[in-house]
Structure 1
Amino acid sequence: MRLLGLRLPLLVFGLLLIPLSLSIASCGDNEEEGKGASGSATAVTPKSSPIDISKVPELQDREMLIGSDIAYAPVEFYKEGTQQEQGMDVDLVNAMAQRLGVTAKFQQVAEFAGIVQDLKSKRYDIVMSAISITDERSAEIDFVPFGPVGTGILVPKGNPKNIKAITDICGLNIAAQTGTFQVDQMNTLNEGDCKDKKINIQTFPDNPSAVQEVGLGRVDAELADDPVAAYSAVQSGGGLVELVVTGFEAAPYGIGVRKDSGPLKSALEDALQQIMNDGTYTDILKKWDQEQFALKP
């Protein structure tokens, strides 16, 4: 009571000063937060706006099930000796899932050739498996494009058939994974430039099996997406296979969604745009040495 009686004017004055003090302190804090270790101003990346998934039926359980053929390094593959997925696609979709507030769960498909039909039968919410967007596939499902790639040609070390261009494979035994864009490319060549010396197309259930055939000399070459062909050559250490041709007939990779999944497609497009805007997309491609295949702004 003595404090209130004798010092009331001082107390009131002190209370009036508190907002002013807080304002000054706040300004000082903001100024310091905008400086790096050297004291120079640094840019602050704005936070992305939350993506509304309330009208996306596939994501109401807060999970996004992804069908993928997880044997296509460096795009998607298992960490050696484990069932842990890794790769460019894996990192990209995990970053997008984070923006959507859901958990991404990969599921190995029975075979890549059936991945589109599996999606249509609702085994997965989306498919993401280094899928090249083609007219034939686009007639069946919709896509969210996320990077253009071409076809590369792997040959045995020393390039014994002297392959320097795509038409040099006419009349040769060429491997590719079943159901890939590369099989379509060779069929088209057999109807055109290679019609007089048709390619003997040999398909395999997965890419590692096709690469192995090249290294063993059982086929003259293998066709695969540029990132995958380049990775296979690096992994061989120059001992068994080498990359001789790249960039043939580029087609974008896409995330596949069903035709009736319009809200999901829009949400994925928003999530992709957010990771492109904040630099996550570029960082992921750099991590896997694939920045040359980035979408252009």
Structure 2
Amino acid sequence: MTDISRRTYLKSVGGTGVALSVAGCSSILGGGSAGTIVPGTASGFPPFEFVNEQGELVGFDVDLLTAVVDETDYELGEWSDLNFDTLITALQNDQIDTIAAAMTITEGRDETIDFTDPYYDANQAVLVRENSDFRPSGTGDLADRPIGAQSGTTGESEMQALVEEGVVSESQTTAYENYVLAVQDLVNGNVDAVIVDTPVAETFVADRPVVSAFTIETGEQYGFGVRTNDDDRQQALNEGLQAVMDDGTYEELTRKWFASE
């Protein structure tokens, strides 16, 4: 991508969102035709993917994948906005061709799907209410406290690890459809802590009456998910990702969506 086309692209995505497709509609079933990449995501994970006040799907992942596919011979299809814990099934069933949802590359997921090269590093943050005296400094301080995380995420895995360690009971954990609901429940006092990816936690701290109490060092990396037998799209996405990193587009999008970086 030339500097001129990159600036044109960034200007275009800066003022517009992506129209949401309805999961399961005829334009999605069967996945993308030859030359198309149909993307799936799970909104409610700002700043990576969320629905803005105009009802448009926006975010870092949306802009990044758009730029990456623009570097390939493929065309980007309509976005499908699904629950996070259904994305892998949708990919395996050919409803979508790639997952762009800040999905952590894990051994378990890598057994069922493949990933592109990593494009973002993260850890897990523990959010608590700003107006509360509860300020845990480690996982042990969460003992016997109601906590929450988004279903299907690494945050939920960390929450379940606390159950296995006996720090909290299963009845004290809540898995939410998305992190917007989880943080709202935290603000409302229904849970005392929420475990969420660090870059997303920073967004909630800036917009909601919550603070980050401490970080769980998990050393995660995000990747775009692809089907295990879809080598062509995987290679194309990797080459496109490298191109946007080399030409400065990735850095520009990082500055756009992560002001603190």
| Residues 1:105 and 1:231: Cα distance change in structure 2 (over 3 Å) | same
**Displacement after TM superposition at 1:248 (Å):** 2.7
Residue number in structure 2 paired with 1:79: 52
TM-score by length of 2: 0.82
**Displacement after TM superposition at 1:130 (Å):** 1.3
- Distance in 1 between residues matched to 2:260 and 2:230, nearest whole Å: 29
**Displacement after TM superposition at 1:138 (Å):** 0.9
Moved more, 273-282 or 180-189: 180-189
| Residues 1:290 and 1:75: Cα distance change in structure 2 (over 3 Å) | farther
- Distance in 1 between residues matched to 2:254 and 2:227, nearest whole Å: 26
Residue number in structure 2 paired with 1:139: 111
- Distance in 2 between residues matched to 1:63 and 1:116, nearest whole Å: 19
- Distance in 1 between residues matched to 2:167 and 2:184, nearest whole Å: 28
Residue number in structure 1 paired with 2:122: 149
Is the contact between residue 63 and residue 104 of structure 1 (CA under 8 Å) also seen in structure 2?
yes
**Displacement after TM superposition at 1:160 (Å):** 2.4
Residue 142 of structure 2 is aligned to residue 205 of structure 1: no
- Distance in 2 between residues matched to 1:92 and 1:290, nearest whole Å: 16
Instruction: Indicate the RMSD between aligned Cα atoms, in angstroms.
Output: 2.4
Residue 254 of structure 2 is aligned to residue 285 of structure 1: yes
**Displacement after TM superposition at 1:103 (Å):** 2.6
TM-score by length of 1: 0.72
Is the contact between residue 68 and residue 128 of structure 1 (CA under 8 Å) also seen in structure 2?
yes
SS at match of 2:78: strand
Equivalent in 222, 231, 235 of residue 194 of structure 2: 222
- Distance in 2 between residues matched to 1:124 and 1:245, nearest whole Å: 36
**Displacement after TM superposition at 1:241 (Å):** 1.5
**Displacement after TM superposition at 1:125 (Å):** 0.6
**Displacement after TM superposition at 1:178 (Å):** 1.1
Residue number in structure 2 paired with 1:274: 243
Is the contact between residue 133 and residue 253 of structure 1 (CA under 8 Å) also seen in structure 2?
yes
Is the contact between residue 162 and residue 168 of structure 2 (CA under 8 Å) also seen in structure 1?
no
Residue 60 of structure 2 is aligned to residue 88 of structure 1: yes
Q: Tell me the percent identity.
A: 27
User: Following superposition of structure 1 onto structure 2, how do residues 13-24 of structure 1 map, counting pairs within 5 Å?
Assistant: none
| Residues 1:280 and 1:181: Cα distance change in structure 2 (over 3 Å) | same
Equivalent in 253, 267, 273 of residue 222 of structure 2: 253
User: Following superposition of structure 1 onto structure 2, how do residues 105-144 of structure 1 map, counting pairs within 5 Å?
Assistant: 105-109=78-82, 111-144=83-116
Residue 153 of structure 2 is aligned to residue 170 of structure 1: no
| Residues 1:196 and 1:75: Cα distance change in structure 2 (over 3 Å) | closer
SS at match of 1:81: coil
Is the contact between residue 142 and residue 167 of structure 2 (CA under 8 Å) also seen in structure 1?
no
SS at match of 2:91: helix
| Alignment size in residue pairs | 233
Deviations 1:158-177 (A, max 9, x none): 34222122332232110111
Question: Any stretches of 5+ residues in structure 1 without a counterpart?
Answer: 1-43, 48-57, 293-297
Is the contact between residue 183 and residue 201 of structure 1 (CA under 8 Å) also seen in structure 2?
no
| Residues 1:116 and 1:291: Cα distance change in structure 2 (over 3 Å) | farther
Equivalent in 129, 133, 142 of residue 160 of structure 1: 133
Residue identity in the other structure for 1:273: Q
| Residues 1:249 and 1:170: Cα distance change in structure 2 (over 3 Å) | farther
Question: Any stretches of 5+ residues in structure 2 without a counterpart?
Answer: 6-30
User: Following superposition of structure 1 onto structure 2, how do residues 31-50 of structure 1 map, counting pairs within 5 Å?
Assistant: none
Is the contact between residue 93 and residue 104 of structure 1 (CA under 8 Å) also seen in structure 2?
no
Residue identity in the other structure for 1:191: E
Residue identity in the other structure for 1:139: E
| Residues 1:141 and 1:158: Cα distance change in structure 2 (over 3 Å) | same
- Distance in 2 between residues matched to 1:227 and 1:216, nearest whole Å: 22
Is the contact between residue 152 and residue 223 of structure 1 (CA under 8 Å) also seen in structure 2?
yes
Is the contact between residue 48 and residue 59 of structure 2 (CA under 8 Å) also seen in structure 1?
yes
SS at match of 1:107: strand
| Residues 1:183 and 1:242: Cα distance change in structure 2 (over 3 Å) | same
Is the contact between residue 129 and residue 210 of structure 2 (CA under 8 Å) also seen in structure 1?
yes
SS at match of 2:38: strand
| Residues 1:119 and 1:291: Cα distance change in structure 2 (over 3 Å) | farther
Moved more, 132-141 or 283-292: 283-292
